[in-house]
């Protein structure tokens, strides 16, 4: 079997999507996947070194990596109402964002991209793993934090207060879907193999939805939040029709993100084709 190195996050949407493919519950067309699981920013950083044949990436990071990776049409986390949340532990309105410390889940995350667009004046950004941000805000280690993944379902229970829904900001600003993260393959990987992997991801998602319990143990093995309800909410929010195929609306959202990033001088200008 041809071996393919694959990097994904331990988040429920990724493990749900890839379970059938990784564990060969579907026909993998002669491909065997050697998988590593990392926080999304670690995956972003590894991609700068070309670490994996196929990898999950924040769309923000992907825009820096167009010379080396191309985007698959399946496997994305993209949609409406799925954006990061900016939270604080204080009921007092923050008026001076320039001096406010904000925890972010990584320099190259889409969350940081959205924060940079919405609050360009914020200078004091503290990078930490996404799973540490809620606690850091709760104990006052930072003034505010950008939470992603399961955090949007649990922050209120922990007494945190939402300052802004960054995804809603993006949707109102652009009338586009929110591109959070996608699956990219190395440009050095031959096109037929990349196309096969794209189809396998789609088949893996269909299998997962057809038999939701089949991936339950695998998803829980890697999840930050173990509650079944939270896990199911996470999957239902982030795994949708755009995960099966980006479609015209998904492609348009990613193109818009690229234009915004260039206009705001967040990424270098490039004409490189993004998609497989």
Active site residues: 149
Question: C-alpha dihedral over 85, 90, 95, 101, to 10 degrees?
Answer: -70
DSSP 236: H
Strand partners, 58: 181
Please list, in sequence order, all residues whose beta carbon lies within 8 angstroms of the beta carbon of residue 265, skipping any fewer than 6 positions away.
none
Please list, in sequence order, all residues whose beta carbon lies within 8 angstroms of the beta carbon of residue 52, skipping any fewer than 6 positions away.
5, 6, 7, 36, 43, 46, 186
CB-based contact 78:179 (threshold 8 Å): yes
Question: What is d(CA 74, CA 115) in angstroms, rounded to the nearest whole number?
Answer: 26
Q: Is 101 helix (H, G, I), strand (E, B) or coil?
A: coil
Written as six digits, the tokens of 76 are 């994305």
């Amino acid at each position: 079997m041809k071996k393919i190195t694959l990097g994904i996050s331990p988040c429920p949407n990724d493990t749900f999507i890839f379970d059938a493919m990784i564990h060969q519950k579907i026909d993998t067309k002669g491909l065997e996947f050697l998988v590593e699981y990392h926080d999304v920013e670690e995956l972003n950083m590894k991609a700068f070194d070309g670490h994996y044949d196929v990898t999950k990436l924040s769309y923000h990071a992907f825009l820096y990596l167009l010379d080396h990776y191309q985007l698959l049409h399946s496997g994305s986390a993209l949609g409406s109402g799925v954006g990061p949340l900016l939270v604080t532990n204080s009921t007092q309105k923050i008026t001076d964002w320039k001096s406010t410390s904000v925890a972010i889940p990584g320099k190259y995350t889409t969350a940081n991209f959205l924060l940079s667009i919405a609050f360009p004046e914020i200078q004091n950004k503290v990078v930490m793993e996404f799973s540490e941000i809620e606690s850091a805000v709760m104990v006052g280690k930072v003034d505010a934090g950008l939470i992603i993944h399961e955090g949007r379902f649990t922050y209120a229970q922990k007494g945190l207060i939402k300052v802004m829904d960054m995804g809603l900001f993006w949707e109102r600003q652009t009338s586009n879907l929110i591109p959070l993260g996608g699956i990219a393959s190395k440009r050095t990987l031959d096109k037929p193999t990349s196309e096969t992997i794209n189809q396998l991801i789609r088949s893996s998602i269909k299998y997962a939805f057809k038999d939701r319990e089949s991936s339950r143990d695998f998803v829980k093995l890697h999840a930050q939040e173990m509650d079944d309800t939270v896990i199911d909410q996470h999957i239902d929010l982030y795994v949708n029709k755009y995960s099966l195929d980006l479609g015209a609306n998904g492609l348009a959202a990613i193109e818009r993100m690229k234009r915004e990033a260039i206009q705001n001088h967040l990424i270098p200008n490039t004409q490189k084709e993004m998609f497989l």
